[in-house]
Amino acid sequence: MITIAVNVSAVQFRNERFLEDLFAILSETGLEPKCLELELTESALMKRAEFTAAILQTLREKGVQVVIDDFGTGYSSLSYLRKFPLDALKIDQSFVREITTTPGETTIVSAIISMARSLNLRVIAEGIETPEELTFLKEHECEEGQGYLFSRPVLPQQLASLLVA
């Protein structure tokens, strides 16, 4: 199964028509909700927590996955990891970039992976650029990653050929 990840801004997420528009797009495109992964920042989730929880619950019920993007760069409480129905944490590239050169970063990345695993969340590392970073992440059981090591950004026309390969 191929998953489509989409970044959602805080402004988009707080729009009163967000869910209605999202499900209309899914209907129009025929994309299965389970194949959609919405990436939200910590700050987008922390505004109006009750409102956020209701939206996330609706997304979960419909099968849409929710990922915390740029995890570790926000200033919010970690309590939302227990309160909100989430599927994954995405480790910010600023941490990944330093894991092979800065001991403090290896500790932070290891802790994020461990915490996510104990909460039954998938872990995605962004900004993987070297084989050494990939090796470290694999050794620490980070199961997903993205970055220039795998591919530079491509035009939509080029994406289909990458998926066939």
pLDDT in tens, 24-41: 999 999 999 999 999 998
Task: With both helix axes pointing from N to C terminus, report the angle between 131-139 and 103-118 in degrees, rounded to the nearest 10.
Answer: 40
Question: Does position 56 have pLDDT exceeding 70, yes or no?
Answer: yes
- Segment 87-106 shows an average pLDDT of 89
Asked whether 116 and 125 are in contact (CB, 8 A), the reply is: no
Whether the CA torsion 62, 67, 69, 71 is positive or negative: it is: positive
Asked whether 43 and 53 are in contact (CB, 8 A), the reply is: no
* pTM given for the model: 0.83
**Residue-level pLDDT at 93:** 93
**Residue-level pLDDT at 80:** 79
- The amino acid at residue 52 is T
Find, among 69, 79, 65, 19, the residue nearest to 42 by Cα.
Answer: 69
CATH class of 1-86: alpha beta
Give residue limits of the domains in the chain. 1-86, 92-159
Average pLDDT over the chain, rounded to whole?
90
